[in-house]
Amino acid sequence: MSDELLAAHAAYEAGQFDQAATLYKKLQDRPWNQTALTDLATMALHGKSYKDALDLAAQCVSKQAGKPELAHLHGLCLLQAGLVEDARAALERAVSLAPEDNRIANTYGHALLAAGQTEYAAQHFYRSAQANAGTPDYWQDLAHALGALPVEVIRDRYAQALIDCLNITKIKPKNAAIQARKLIKPFLTELHQHLINGEFQSLQDWLLAKRASKNYQVFVALIENVRCTDAFLENALTELRAMLLNEWVTASKSAPIAIVTALATQCFLTDYAFTAPQVELEQINGLRSLLRNAIDNQASVNSNAIALYATYHPLHTLQGVVEVTPQHDDSAEVSRWGNFIVMHVSEPLTEYGLRGDIPSLTQIENETSRAVQQQYEESPYPRWTGVNWGGGKLPIGFRQSTPSPKNVSGENGRHRILIAGCGTGQQAAVYSLAQPQASITAFDLSRRSLAYGERKKREFGLQNVTFHHGDILRLPETNLVFDEIACAGVLHHLKTPRDGLSALKKVYSGKGEFNLQVYTESGRQAVVAGIALRDEHGYKATAGSMREFRKRVYGLSDSHPAKGLLRFADFFSLFECRDLVFNVQEHRYTLITLSHLLNACGFVFSGLKISTATLATFRRLHPNPAAVRDPARWQALEDSNPSIFGSMYNVMARLAS
């Protein structure tokens, strides 16, 4: 290769696509070699210039038809250009050239999915996921594809794939979880029937009889990994918990440990939201005394008793519990015990230890900030496990294409991102995975939330995130500057959001995105009704009072406006329910009032981050590309469809010129 070509390729490899494009352009009149062609095709693909990308990729393939990576690139270009049938054919060829290449199999899966061959797509996704068991992306794609299959097909042929997906803790198996909930309905109905009619002698017998069935296993995987967000499941789990405790206390019968530990984990994930009548509370108090006694006397304790206790109370609060020797009834399932103890005891204690290590950037003196701080120290938000790895959106071979364009707007080539009010760090993790070369500062009032984020950062092996403690209002005192800022679900908790936004403006360079998420007025009407109900009956932000509040909401007639709270996933866990209905402070916006707030702080509304379907609806009404920057038009769309943006606007803004 000539020196010029080498320089252009080096810029491409470094992710400096603008520079690479300029250098390649200068060489336009010389014949491009294969490297140049693939570089240019990939860059065109990233830049969404699909026609150019396709021309270049077609040239590559015509020169070297037998190379699988070129057939793959061609297929990718066809797929991204929307030429689904051609893409499917090109990728089928790529797979035949390299049957063992999992990235190609994954892209082929995406083409099959786009062509409506969902089951065949799931097969390819499952195969490549199994071959890359430790790579969450592959599982995320499988979870997405499973979501599109008829539930009967899953029951007959993909139940194991579903279980495997649910057990991958680093992903968000949203679609897979929806399928799992459908699949286990008959199992739960049968369980309920058994609890009422009792054709088996005991719940223990019934569960043992069901243990080999796929529905049982899907049930265990679901409740062990995914927070329940529906009333039917919560009801069934509350009933199951009561029965398990009762059988243990009154008849010393222990259910399979997998069920009890999974249920305990579900209770941990929902922050012990389920209610219990007095008789159950007395039984659990009795169990606590028994455990306390055994721990104090260094006696061994039945593992079921420990797990049962953990279905009602956080296990790490039972001091000394890890020092006891658990006695397992069922040696086949002992392997679960280690993971169970890590989640219920070690991780909360690790977080406790990390709280003091998070460096402070500012003092917290503002009265509202202090009250909000206390809220999130007691109830960090959210308790998350995995993140969405872009499942279903882009093939892995494209998402992870190396190199990818680098954002180098910051000083010394480092793009500086602020996650303002990062909570427990989920958004910081998403940013870190998407932009591993950036430097990310995750900032919050709540040390407990930050410690959760720090623990997850270590679990995910994120290198470029640092967690800092402090108040957004005082960020300008730090003299830090950021090229990109994301602030989700935070400003509406400030007494004067304008002060918070002005503070963010002072630390913003304006070189990258400014993304704000705040409560909508129209999408939170059920919450407004819930707040009124809360105040009418004097419910407080304590665990007991919030459980009673939830019970009252369940008992409302369907026409009561607060019954709509059941449509919010946050309703189903106490930490999240507190954030939903028991905020110290909340403001809600329309797009017009939000746009005024932005203008008052020197920003301009520049669009909404929304689903492609909503964007398409908007574009049909307003074909002019500039219309997306007009909040009044978006407002008109919301006025005609009040739930279109949900309970939170996801807004892009830029500095006013």
Q: Which residues sit at the interface with ligand SAM, rule CB under 6 A?
A: 369, 372, 376, 381-382, 421-423, 426-427, 444-446, 449, 471-473, 488-490, 493-494, 579
CB of 373 to ligand SAM, least distance (A): 6
Nearer to ligand SAM, 53 or 372 (CB): 372
CB neighbours of 289 closer than 8 A, spacing ≥ 6?
Answer: none
CB of 578 to ligand SAM, least distance (A): 10
Nearer to ligand SAM, 80 or 369 (CB): 369
Nearer to ligand SAM, 261 or 520 (CB): 520
Classified as helix, coil or strand, 387 is strand
CB of 364 to ligand SAM, least distance (A): 8
CB of 142 to ligand SAM, least distance (A): 25
CB of 565 to ligand SAM, least distance (A): 16
CB of 108 to ligand SAM, least distance (A): 35
CB of 517 to ligand SAM, least distance (A): 7
CB of 619 to ligand SAM, least distance (A): 28
- What is the rounded CA–CA span in Å between residue 206 and residue 196? 13
CB of 582 to ligand SAM, least distance (A): 12
Query: Residue 519 pairs with which residues in a beta bridge?
Result: 648
Angle of CA points 401, 404, 405, to nearest 5°? 160
Q: Which residue is nearest to ligand SAM (CB)?
A: 423
Residue with tokens 């309703």: 571
CB of 354 to ligand SAM, least distance (A): 16
CB of 504 to ligand SAM, least distance (A): 10
CB of 63 to ligand SAM, least distance (A): 49
Nearer to ligand SAM, 145 or 494 (CB): 494
Nearer to ligand SAM, 191 or 269 (CB): 269
- What is the rounded CA–CA span in Å between residue 142 and residue 128? 9
User: How does strand 603-608 pair with strand 465-469?
Assistant: unpaired
* DSSP string computed for 126-194: HHHHHHTTT-HHHHHHHHHHHHTS-HHHIIIIIHHHHHHHHT-TTB--HHHHHHHHHHHHHHHHHHHHH
Residue 87: DSSP 8-state: H
Residue 313 CA to its chain's centroid (Å): 25
CB neighbours of 135 closer than 8 A, spacing ≥ 6?
Answer: 129
Nearer to ligand SAM, 243 or 419 (CB): 419
Nearer to ligand SAM, 292 or 355 (CB): 355
Query: Residue 589 pairs with which residues in a beta bridge?
Result: 520
CB of 588 to ligand SAM, least distance (A): 14
Residue 344: DSSP 8-state: I
Classified as helix, coil or strand, 255 is coil
Nearer to ligand SAM, 270 or 449 (CB): 449
Nearer to ligand SAM, 138 or 519 (CB): 519
Per the CB < 8 A criterion, the answer to whether 137 and 399 are in contact is yes
Nearer to ligand SAM, 320 or 359 (CB): 359
CB of 336 to ligand SAM, least distance (A): 29
CB neighbours of 391 closer than 8 A, spacing ≥ 6?
Answer: 137, 140, 141, 143, 144, 171, 172, 175
Structure tokens of 4? 């010029």
Nearer to ligand SAM, 142 or 419 (CB): 419
Query: Residue 441 pairs with which residues in a beta bridge?
Result: 418, 466
Nearer to ligand SAM, 217 or 573 (CB): 573
Other C-beta atoms closer than 10 Å to the C-beta of 637 total: 17
- At CB < 8 A and 24+ separation, what contacts does 365-373 make? 365/471, 366/471, 366/473, 366/495, 367/495, 368/493, 368/494, 368/495, 368/584, 368/585, 369/445, 369/471, 369/473, 369/494, 371/584, 371/585, 372/445, 372/493, 372/494, 372/584, 372/585, 373/445, 373/446
Residue 346: DSSP 8-state: I
Amino acid letter, residue 434: A
Nearer to ligand SAM, 11 or 440 (CB): 440
Residue count (the chain): 657
Per the CB < 8 A criterion, the answer to whether 234 and 190 are in contact is no
Radius of gyration of the chain (CA): 27
Nearer to ligand SAM, 118 or 426 (CB): 426
Structure tokens of 200? 């088996």
Per the CB < 8 A criterion, the answer to whether 515 and 651 are in contact is yes
CB of 589 to ligand SAM, least distance (A): 15
- What is the rounded CA–CA span in Å between residue 619 and residue 612? 10
Nearer to ligand SAM, 164 or 570 (CB): 570
Whether omega for the bond prior to residue 403 falls within 30 degrees of 0, making it cis, is yes
Burial state string for 335-363 with b = 16 or more CB within 10 A and e = fewer than 16: ebbeebbebbbebbeebeebbeebeebbe
